[in-house]
Structure 1
Amino acid sequence: MKRTKSSKFSLTKLVLATALLAGTFIQLPSLVSAAETTDTPVWSREDVQDFNLTEDNTAPNIDSFTDIAPDYWVWDTWPLRDRDGSIAKINGYYVTFALTASKEHTWSGRHDHAVIRYFYSKNGKDWTMGEVPYDKEKALGYRQWAGSAMMEKDGTIHLFYTATGRKDEGPTFEQRLAKTTFEMDAKGKSGITVSNNGDHVILAEADGEYYETQEQRTGDILYSFRDPWFFQDPQTGEEYIIFEGNSGGFDKTLEDKHIGDINEIVPDGAENYNGNIGIAKATNDELTDFELMAPLLEANGVNQQLERPHIVTKGDDYYLFTISHQFTFAPGLDGPDGLYGFNANSLFGDYEPLNDTGLVVANPEEDPFQAYSWAVLPHGQVISFVNEFHDEDGNFQQGGSFAPTLRINLKGDTTEITNVMREGEIHG
């Protein structure tokens, strides 16, 4: 029997919601078309009734960290990968990308000034910060939010990102999926350099059918159409971007499948929490045209934000991971800031929550917001960033740097934390 470190997770809901600027935006003609509707798997209210923090899913306490870039806030991170999803190297260097903002801006205000920078390392442990690998003036969006990066065999790197807002409108919350290309090289002692910057293109916009537009949003929390993660299906070779969305349409009525087989009067307002995990299929080799498809998973009535979704395969198992905050769970539900996951036998399979509830990694109960933005890599490495925590003297601290890497074991429909590695550590 597993030793339980703490009883059912119970914390006061974080009084936090990102206010959406008033007004609407002019939506450009859609660059993609919708596929036929399918029966989308559901993460239901029944699934998330009982979260338990155990030694298998609770990260150890962080009471200090090494600041990888003292002049910058550093948060969401992702490594450069090869087309098949494995960790890439450039002339012996690992490369990882992260959202960054100057510390001239406040911790809470960093999101309005986010740009993507790269870091490089010979050993995957000791990191040096590089530059912004694209022309910020040509980049799409008022700022650039998280995504993924993939390297072709010829050295071309595709950087997928979220174009958030528009340059001439200030920091609004419109979100579009975008991409640019460039090349990287490592010569002598100069580390990684960037060349041959390509154009920036929009890959997809919310269609209002499968994926909620800004105009369709209800409730107080920011809507989602962001975090594109490149994925090549090993079973078919077909290529996709997976992203965070919300269920489309103006009708927010919950169906029985979203509630499950429980005797519950669903609190008012739960219908406004309608997060889903979206997918779009590449229709050309250049990865500039994508077709929106029905979501891989929906969480209507459960959670508003299924952030940074991504897939890891192991044998015949497909593991779909996402991250979520405590405050984005719907009324009547109480889940921790954590990494959540689902298991199926194919990309479009019937995803079921891992460990019964979906919880894979949670922060310790005594410091529930110490890390965030977990991403699972091949071989079970889990990277994240230091968020907000208490140091060894009990003082509240803001992070903004790489958190210790965890290692998890994936076995069928269960997971467990098996090791703690160095801050930001990755290996091929």
Structure 2
Amino acid sequence: MDLYYTAVTPGATIVKVRGRIITTNKGVSLTDFTDVKALFEADGNLYQTEAQNPYWGFRDPFPFRDAKSGKLYMLFEGNVAGARGTHIVGPAETGEVPPGYENVGNSRYQTGCVGIAEADDDNGDSWTLLPPLVTAVGVNDQTERPHFVFQDGKYYLFTISHKFTYGDGLTGPDGVYGFVSDEIFGPYIPLNGSALILGNPPFQPFQTYSHYVMPNGLVTSFIDSVPVDKTTTGMDYRIGGTEAPTVKIKIKGDRTFVVNEYDYGYIPPMVDVILKA
């Protein structure tokens, strides 16, 4: 089994470690996850490096095999390459806007993107960086935990983001956002017109975070913060630190619908599991 993750300090490098999962009548154990192999890091040409921006992001690997081509790819969160503050946000980036909204302020600092790399071998030991699938220059600075759901021959791309990482004059809730395409390399269009799938309510803006849309439509997340009485703690919130209620969504075409809510941390098997006596 290969485990992919982001190694940090110094820098940020996508790495993997190979080990074994051993199951017995007494339980499950992990072994041999000791030999860490560095795979790739931001290059400064496609993806922003720490030298270009001390607030850059390069993390959250999501390896997958494309059902159409059989090739091994990996999604990750990144920022579009270039020195911090040098990105141009003009008519090509903003599109049609009403009169008086042409001033984009400091949105040139928002450079989030969903990156992708292609494996050079079937084992995933060597990778080549490819141009981002979705970019958010002038819109948002973080497109975290990108992942796919494959359904009806389409590519449903999901990512999570923050209210505080939006550019000047823009806003959106902490939550999960989604896009869809008929082809792996796009073009991608936002689901529901706005890309918002699930967002925190205004009265609890940090209610949940780190959403993950599973292939069966269940969406898991964690409780981010819980409002408390400031008079006793000196703070108006405490860290949740546990699984939030699971939500069920239905994906149909370029729309999503909330259809059910389950208990905290409800994550059932996605395939039938047969236990032998």
Fold shared per TM-score above 0.5: yes
Structure 2 match to 1:199: 35
Structure 1 match to 2:233: none
Per-residue CA shift, 1:39-71, capped at 9, x if unaligned?
xxxxxxxxxxxxxxxxxxxxxxxxxxxxxxxxx
Matched, 1:261 2:105: no
Structure 1 match to 2:217: 380
Give the match's secondary structure for 1:257.
helix
Structure 2 match to 1:405: 246
Matched, 1:241 2:85: no
2 CA distance for matches of 1:160 and 1:276?
Answer: 20
Matched, 1:310 2:147: yes
Structure 2 match to 1:347: 184
CA RMSD, 1 decimal:
1.9
Structure 2 match to 1:9: none
Gaps of 5+ in 2: 230-235, 271-277
Structure 1 match to 2:57: 224
Give the match's secondary structure for 1:215.
coil
Give the match's secondary structure for 1:284.
coil
2 CA distance for matches of 1:193 and 1:231?
Answer: 24
Q: Amino acid of the residue matched to residue 413 of structure 1?
A: D
Structure 1 match to 2:275: none
Post-superposition offset of 1:348: 0.8
Q: Amino acid of the residue matched to residue 244 of structure 1?
A: E
Q: Amino acid of the residue matched to residue 169 of structure 2?
A: G
Structure 2 match to 1:177: 14
Give the match's secondary structure for 2:51.
helix
Q: Do the aligned partners of 2:89 and 2:104 also contact (CA within 8 Å) in 1?
A: no
2 CA distance for matches of 1:423 and 1:288?
Answer: 37
2 CA distance for matches of 1:284 and 1:240?
Answer: 10
Per-residue CA shift, 1:109-142, capped at 9, x if unaligned?
xxxxxxxxxxxxxxxxxxxxxxxxxxxxxxxxxx
Structure 1 match to 2:273: none
Post-superposition offset of 1:254: 2.0
Per-residue CA shift, 1:132-170, capped at 9, x if unaligned?
xxxxxxxxxxxxxxxxxxxxxxxxx1111011113xxxx
2 CA distance for matches of 1:255 and 1:178?
Answer: 36
2 CA distance for matches of 1:197 and 1:318?
Answer: 32
Q: Amino acid of the residue matched to residue 177 of structure 2?
A: Y
Post-superposition offset of 1:415: 0.5
Q: Amino acid of the residue matched to residue 57 of structure 2?
A: S
Per-residue CA shift, 1:59-102, capped at 9, x if unaligned?
xxxxxxxxxxxxxxxxxxxxxxxxxxxxxxxxxxxxxxxxxxxx
Structure 2 match to 1:421: 262
Structure 2 match to 1:50: none
Where is the strand percentage greater, Structure 1 or Structure 2? 2
Q: Which has the higher contact order (CA 8 A, sep 6+)?
A: 1
Any residues of structure 2 matched to 1:16-415 within 5 Å, and which? 157-166=1-10, 174-189=11-26, 191-217=27-53, 222-250=55-83, 251-263=86-98, 264-390=101-227, 396-415=237-256
1 CA distance for matches of 2:218 and 2:224?
Answer: 19
Give the match's secondary structure for 2:70.
coil
2 CA distance for matches of 1:371 and 1:307?
Answer: 14
2 CA distance for matches of 1:257 and 1:265?
Answer: 12
1 CA distance for matches of 2:149 and 2:79?
Answer: 22
2 CA distance for matches of 1:266 and 1:352?
Answer: 25
Post-superposition offset of 1:240: 0.7
Q: Amino acid of the residue matched to residue 286 of structure 1?
A: N
Structure 1 match to 2:232: none
2 CA distance for matches of 1:305 and 1:381?
Answer: 23
Q: Comparing 295-304 with 413-422, which one deviates more in the overlay? A: 413-422
1 CA distance for matches of 2:228 and 2:263?
Answer: 18
2 CA distance for matches of 1:275 and 1:396?
Answer: 28
Q: Amino acid of the residue matched to residue 29 of structure 2?
A: T
Give the match's secondary structure for 2:216.
helix
Q: Amino acid of the residue matched to residue 226 of structure 2?
A: F
Give the match's secondary structure for 2:198.
strand
Post-superposition offset of 1:397: 3.0
Q: What percentage of residue pairs aligned between the two structures are identical?
A: 39
Post-superposition offset of 1:255: 4.1
2 CA distance for matches of 1:391 and 1:203?
Answer: 43
Q: Amino acid of the residue matched to residue 153 of structure 2?
A: D
Structure 2 match to 1:146: none
2 CA distance for matches of 1:415 and 1:377?
Answer: 14
Q: Amino acid of the residue matched to residue 4 of structure 2?
A: F
Per-residue CA shift, 1:152-195, capped at 9, x if unaligned?
xxxxx1111011113xxxxxxx2111111111122123x21012
Q: Which segments of structure 1 move beyond 3 Å, counting only runs of 4 or more?
A: none
